[in-house]
Structure formats: C-alpha cells, structure tokens
C-alpha cells in the first residue's frame, strides 16, 4: 500500500527526462541556438519567441543583434551577477520591492491558510466530524486527494482564459467560505452528544470545497504569478525566496496544528485559518495587478506603484490605445499616398 505513493513520482521522473532545458539557463550558458529552438517550441508564435529571446539576451548582457549559436558569457552574468542580492534586498527599486512583497506574500498566505493541515490531517478532521470507520475515513481522504488533482488540471485551462487575478480572488473567497463551513460544522459536532448527519455532511462538503477552491486558484497561481513578475536578472533568486517562505510556513502550520486544536478546539483552528484567508483576500485585492498578457516593461510600470497600480494600468491602456491609433493612422496615410 505504501508503495503506491511512488507511482506518480516514477511517472514524473520519466516525464522530466523529456523536458528541455530552461531557455534562460541555456542563454546564460551561451547556448543561444538551443535556447531559440526551445522557445520556438514553447511559444505561441515565432514573434513571441523572438521577443522572449531578446529579453533574455538583454538580461544576460548579450547584444540583441548577436545571432551566433554559441557565445561566451561574462563571469558576472554566468553566476547570476554579484549585485543581484543587493538589488533584491538591500537597495531595491520601488518596482522590485513591490514584486518581492507580492512574491513572498502569496506564498506565505498559500500555506498559512491551512492547506497542509486540511490535506495531511484530513483523517483526523473526518474523525472529529463523526466518521469513525477506518474505511469511510480512507474513502473520504482519497476523495480529497482526487478532487485536488482533478481541479489542479482544470486550473491549467482557466489560467489564460480568466486571468490570474480574478481566479486568485475567487479561489480565496471560496476558501474562506469553505473554512467557515468546516469550522462551524466541527464546532457544532464537538458540542453535541449525538450524531448530526447534516453537520457531518457540512464538514465533508466543506473539506472537498476547500480542496476545489484551493486547486483552481491559490495553489497553482502562486507558482505562475511569481515566475511572471520578477525581472529576468532577479527571477531565480526572487523565486527561490518565495519557495523558501512557502516551505517554512508549511512546516510551521503542519507542526502546530495538533497543539493549536488542543488549545482552541479543532473548530477554532479553522476559524483562525479563515481569518488568515480574509487578510489574504484584502492583501491580494489591494496589491496584486493582473499579469495575463503583460510584457516585462508593463510589469515594471505596474509594480512599484503599490496601492495605485489601478491608475497605472488605466494609463498604460490609454497609451496603448493611442499608440495603436497612431499606427493605424500612419498605415492609412501610407495607403492613401
């Protein structure tokens, strides 16, 4: 039974063998030809591939006109640049500071809202909810894992259709309602002497709903968002900081769950997680702009304005509309000539 858990890892390991190297890593190694071929495969168009390669070459200190398949890279860029940590932590620009807050914040709230407690301790949660048979607890736990897997796949189709921000906010709002439902059901069950079927049903439905809402938004978007917002030169170190915060927070949450529910009851723990999720919703709503379809230049303009990013986005849209109008006007003039 324990060996079953190794099956997904085996498939993942086989899949990794077929994955190409990161284009950014290839460019940093001076292998421009390979990076171009990879970008041509994974980009929606050759024009997008060209623009992405140009951005990566600029970050690596390679002239844009360079078309060689293999080039030599300076030691500074090869090792990520000695000033990266300085620019990221010691003397960040307003844009980098805003980006770093968003990257660290989204990973903190992803774990602090209790996902690992719900997943890892779901048998204990179902036991407290009144499910006493081991078979029933196992089936309910398997349902949580299955639901989480299916809706993570659903999220891959929704991310580019709906956008990061709407999906993230909808996800967190659903998580808040689910946590409140679970906390309410557990609190009621804990204070009565007889089984209440509706309360047990509420607990099971709330756990499954929580897994659904987390998997379609907060779970995958945390990783997608930070990979899009950092400038290329700071991306590796910035993303690593987000991951470090995620893992540390996850460890704290899982190690304190038992102690917390003994101190404030299991229902109280989920009310606490719901409160953290409310703070997360406000944090995301006020500080996180949409990144779907944005260029690195637009990202840099959006981030750094903190709570005023909406006015910046409106200005960018107006500028783009004016630029498009000028281009169309110029094309009309050429045609008429």
CATH number at residue 280: 1.20.1250.20
Same domain, 167 and 44: no
pLDDT tens column, 36-76: 899 888 887 888 888 888 878 877 778 878 888 888 776 55
Label residues 111-138 b or e (16+ Cβ within 10 Å = b). bbbbbbbbbebbeebbbbbbbeeeeebe
Question: Is the pLDDT assigned to residue 132 strictly greater than 50?
Answer: yes
Confidence of residue 1 (pLDDT cuts 50, 70, 90): very low
Specify if 98 maps to a domain: yes
Give the domain-ending residue among 73, 98, 116.
73
Beta bridge partners of 70: 31
Provide φ and ψ at 70, rounded to 5°.
-135, 130
> Helix axis angle, 197-213 relative to 134-162, nearest 10°?
40
What total of structural domains would you count in the chain? Answer: 2
> Tokens in use for 27?
């460019």
**Do 141 and 58 belong together in one domain?**
no
Are residues 110 and 222 in contact, defined by beta-carbon separation less than 8 angstroms? yes
The domain of 38 spans 11-73
Task: Mark whether 59 and 98 lie in a shared domain.
Answer: no
**pTM more than 0.85:** no
How far is 1 from 60, CA to CA, in rounded Å? 48
| CA quadruple 270, 274, 276, 278: dihedral, nearest 10 | 180
Look at residue 81 and tell me if it is in a domain: no
Question: Are residues 68 and 93 both part of a single domain?
Answer: no
What percentage of the chain has pLDDT greater than the value 70? 90
| Residue linked to tokens 């540390």 | 248
Residue 21 within a domain: yes
Residue 168 located in a structural domain: yes
| Position 252 confidence tier, pLDDT thresholds 50, 70, 90 | very high
Query: Are residues 127 and 38 both part of a single domain?
Result: no
- Flag the least confident range among 10-14, 141-145, 261-265, 276-280: 10-14
Q: Is residue 304 part of a domain?
A: no
pLDDT tens per residue, range 75-125 = 555 555 557 888 888 888 999 999 999 999 999 999 999 999 998 888 888
């Amino acid at each position: 039974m324990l060996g079953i858990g190794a099956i997904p890892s085996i498939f993942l390991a086989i899949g990794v063998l077929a994955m190409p190297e990161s284009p950014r890593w290839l460019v940093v190694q001076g292998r421009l030809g390979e990076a171009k071929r990879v970008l041509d495969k994974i980009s929606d168009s050759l024009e997008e591939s060209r623009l992405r390669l140009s951005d990566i070459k600029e970050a690596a200190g390679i002239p844009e006109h360079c078309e060689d398949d293999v080039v030599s890279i300076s030691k500074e860029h090869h090792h990520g640049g000695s000033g990266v940590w300085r620019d990221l932590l010691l003397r960040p620009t307003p844009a980098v500071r805003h980006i770093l807050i968003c990257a660290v914040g989204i990973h903190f709230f992803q774990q602090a809202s209790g996902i690992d407690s719900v997943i890892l301790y779901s048998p204990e949660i179902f036991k407290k909810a009144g499910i006493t048979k081991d078979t029933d607890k196992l089936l309910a736990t398997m349902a949580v894992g299955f639901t989480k897997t299916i809706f993570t796949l659903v999220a891959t189709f929704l991310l580019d259709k709906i956008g990061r921000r709407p999906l993230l906010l909808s996800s967190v709002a659903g998580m808040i309602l689910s946590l409140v439902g679970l906390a309410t059901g557990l609190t009621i069950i804990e204070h009565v002497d007889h089984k209440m079927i509706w309360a047990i049903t509420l607990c099971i439905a709330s756990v499954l709903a929580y897994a659904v809402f987390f998997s379609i938004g907060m779970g995958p978007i945390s990783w997608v968002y930070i990979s899009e917002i950092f400038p290329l030169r700071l991306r590796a170190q910035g993303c690593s900081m987000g991951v470090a915060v995620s893992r540390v927070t996850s460890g704290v949450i899982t190690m304190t769950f038992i102690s917390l529910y003994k101190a404030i009851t299991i229902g109280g723990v989920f009310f606490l997680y719901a409160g953290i999720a409310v703070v997360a919703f406000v944090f995301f709503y006020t500080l996180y702009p949409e990144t779907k379809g944005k260029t690195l230049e637009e990202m840099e303009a959006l981030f750094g304005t903190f709570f005023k990013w909406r006015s910046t986005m409106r200005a960018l849209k107006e500028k783009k509309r004016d630029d498009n109008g000028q281009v169309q006007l110029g094309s009309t003039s050429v045609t008429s000539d």
